[in-house]
Chain A
């Protein structure tokens, strides 16, 4: 049974676990505790498994929860193993972003309760955490993706309270995205791949587009079969 302590151990130890390369180490977030002791319906999915976000508003919230898990794990790693030459200003900003994403993740986990999907196993092997360019490029990709994801799923939401929550979060992700763009190149706070040059509207994406990108950083693949 997953408890908060176990989850924290799992997430706080991301840095060590990533070096274990999942070789018999179990699903991140559940840790090395006996998997057989978990009796929840959504169970423990093997690291190479797939999880679907579900349908309706629960599906939307789980979709957001999945993306926030990815971002929280990424920034936790970034701050745990800062890239060469990270300035104190950059460390401060990245630590704050980490804290925001961890809060977003924990918020959705709490709000979803027994409806939450499992803790996802991430795969950051394509990212060089000692390289500023590699890390910030990945960060920009995650933030940009998050904005397009929230914007693209919002019309499915039926409960106005959940739409309000999504609205509260997506603008913060956009603030993050703009900052990361600026850190990479000053002035790149609204690049034309993300903000249309003709209408100046931000891109929005379907869940399948978003998850195709997100799943390249996930060993546990996420699907959203009930959404377009």
Chain B
């Protein structure tokens, strides 16, 4: 299953969710256009694999699409960390970053097995015509040109990759509604990506003089708390990180310890992480960081 058919599958599922949860998403839905819809690929529900025995549940084609989207992102992240940790002299905090590298590789392996066991075809790195962590659309000379020659650039890019991964998983969770096996697995991975995001932020601040919190702390004017304007889109979207409502409740009007009648924007935005839709994630990634075989 290639990335474009994944998009088709998700778009079958996303619009319902979008309209239920946020009518503002309509504006975003039509950003990307991938030509005529491809025929729904038949997905065999093969039996007797290790994963299926352990979990006992076949996956629908839309669930497989979500898992393959997740796997796509994990492959990108894993490639990033493998490259970084494999670049001699780049990474100083070898055990710390090494843990994250191991986790991403494990996520790739887990999702690959899960998709295979559920009868799907997992994406692989061969999907990509290029991967460019400088953000240069294949030129390897984009805004993060020193990503693998300057450790601080590497960490800054890592921070945003992790924050974005968290948002991407979060955006897909409703597509796995009620699915004990796959929703739980997706949330379990999502939690680890959030641990990574917190860990990178803490490292940058405690050791290298950055001023980011372990959590995304936005202002009314600016969702992006990284100080790196090139990644504004990663903190924006239909439900930007500086959203101050949740479930229709205006968080700013809830009491805090500081005030009996209000909560600050900083606290409200940090206490709730916000989703990105698949369309929004792909717009961030393609073509700046990756492109895919048609």
Contact = CB atoms under 8 A, between A and B. Distances in A.
Contacts of B196: 178, 189-190
Contact of B271 (A100, A110, A154, A174): A100
Contacts of A162: 247
Contacts of A150: 187
B188 A182 contact: no
A171 B173 contact: no
Interface stretch (B137-145, B249-257, B280-288): B249-257
| Residue from B20, B106, B247 with most neighbouring chain A CB atoms (10 Å) | B247
A195 to B, nearest CB: 6
B198 interface: yes
Interface in A163-193: 163-165, 167-172, 174-179, 182, 186-187, 189-190
Interface in B254-271: 254-258, 260, 263-264, 267-268, 270-271
Nearest to B215: A175
Contacts of B109: 199
Nearest to B188: A201
B189 interface: yes
Contact of A189 (B170, B187, B198, B274): B198
Contact of A155 (B95, B178, B213): B178
Given A99-B271, A189-B198, A200-B102, A178 B95 contact: no
Contact of B166 (A93, A171, A177): A171
Contacts of A165: 246-247
Interface in B72-113: 95-96, 99, 102-104, 106-107, 109-110
Contact of A202 (B96, B179, B188, B274): B188
26 contacts: A76-B257, A99-B258, A103-B268, A150-B187, A151-B184, A151-B187, A151-B188, A151-B191, A152-B184, A155-B178, A155-B183, A164-B275, A165-B247, A171-B170, A171-B191, A175-B194, A175-B198, A179-B202, A179-B214, A182-B199, A182-B202, A190-B192, A190-B199, A195-B195, A199-B107, A201-B107
Interface string A133-161: 00000000000000100111011011011
Contact of B257 (A4, A5, A12, A147): A12
B187 A161 contact: no
Interface of A: 4-5, 8, 12, 76, 79, 89, 93, 96, 98-100, 102-104, 106-107, 110-111, 147, 150-152, 154-155, 157-158, 160-165, 167-172, 174-179, 182, 186-187, 189-190, 195, 198-204
B185 interface: yes
A76 B180 CA distance: 34
A189 B260 CA distance: 34
What are the nearest 9 A-B pairs in CB distance? A200-B106, A174-B194, A178-B198, A202-B191, A171-B194, A175-B198, A201-B188, A189-B199, A200-B103
A167 B170 contact: yes
Taking chain B's interface residues, is the majority helix, strand, or loop, or is none over half, making it mixed? helix
Contacts of A107: 246-247, 249, 251, 254
Contacts of A204: 184, 187-188
B17 A160 contact: yes
B178 A158 contact: yes
A97 to B, nearest CB: 9
Contacts of A111: 247, 249
A104 B184 CA distance: 22
B192 A8 contact: no
B273 A172 contact: yes
A136 B186 CA distance: 28
B247 A5 contact: no
B21 interface: yes
A178 B99 contact: no
Contacts of A79: 257
Contacts of A186: 96
A76 B257 CA distance: 8
B273 to A, nearest CB: 4
A4 B253 CA distance: 12
Contacts of B246: 107, 165, 168
- Among A98, A106, A160, A178, max chain B CB count under 10 A is at A178
A195 B192 contact: yes
A170 B187 contact: yes
B275 A106 contact: no
A74 to B, nearest CB: 13
Nearest to A7: B255
A98 B258 CA distance: 11
